[in-house]
Amino acid sequence: MKTARAALIHILQNAYSGEVAAAYAYRGHWKSLKRSPERDRIRQIEEEEWDHRRRVGEWLENLGAAPRPARERVFWSIGRVLGLTCHISGWFMPMYFAGRLESHNSVEYEDAAAFAAELEMHECVRDLLDMARVELEHEEFFRSVVSGHRLLPLMKRLFGWS
């Protein structure tokens, strides 16, 4: 039981810090875009990442754990840097890497949900699966906006993401 608990805490700590990086990156991303439905959607995605961070933080507290300060600092910086680079990197790159990251996020929440199930934390399982579903929606959005782009086949060969 101790290992499932430790594994769950570990994933949640990673996710908690990952969400701050995502939120700041998306903030830079939507601010770099012209007024459009895409911009509105990414702004909404930023809100959803803050919401995830809040919920993950509550589960960490519930487990008697806390975010890891060193990881927080690193991911805060990553988010800020990514947010800034959106202003210079053009349209395609942020969309592509966002989609790839989101596919990782949904798997991360599913893994966490499996450990929570082992611990019989049913409410937590529901909440984590709901977040996994939202991450999948994010991935689908970014997939739909880059689909058919001329750079996509090359990037897929270089970096993966089917």
Q: Which residues, numbered 113-152, are part of the site for Fe ion (CB under 5 A)?
A: 135, 138
Q: Which of helix, strand or coil describes residue 87?
A: coil
Cβ at position 49, least distance to Fe ion in Å: 4
Best CA proximity match to 128, nearest among 60, 82, 65, 74 = 60
- Which window, 24-32, 41-49, 54-62, 91-99, contacts Fe ion (CB under 5 A)? 41-49
In angstroms, the CA 108 to CA 89 distance is 27
User: In the chain, where does DSSP find H-type helix?
Assistant: 2-32, 37-62, 69-85, 92-118, 122-146, 152-159
Q: Which residues, numbered 50-79, are part of the site for Fe ion (CB under 5 A)?
A: 52
Cβ at position 56, least distance to Fe ion in Å: 8
Cβ at position 3, least distance to Fe ion in Å: 25
Q: Closer CB to Fe ion, residue 29 or residue 138?
A: 138
Residue 40 CA: distances (Å) to CA of 33, 67, 100: 10, 30, 20
Q: Closer CB to Fe ion, residue 102 or residue 127?
A: 102
Cβ at position 150, least distance to Fe ion in Å: 26
Q: Can you give the binding site for Fe ion, defined by CB under 5 A?
A: 49, 52, 102, 135, 138
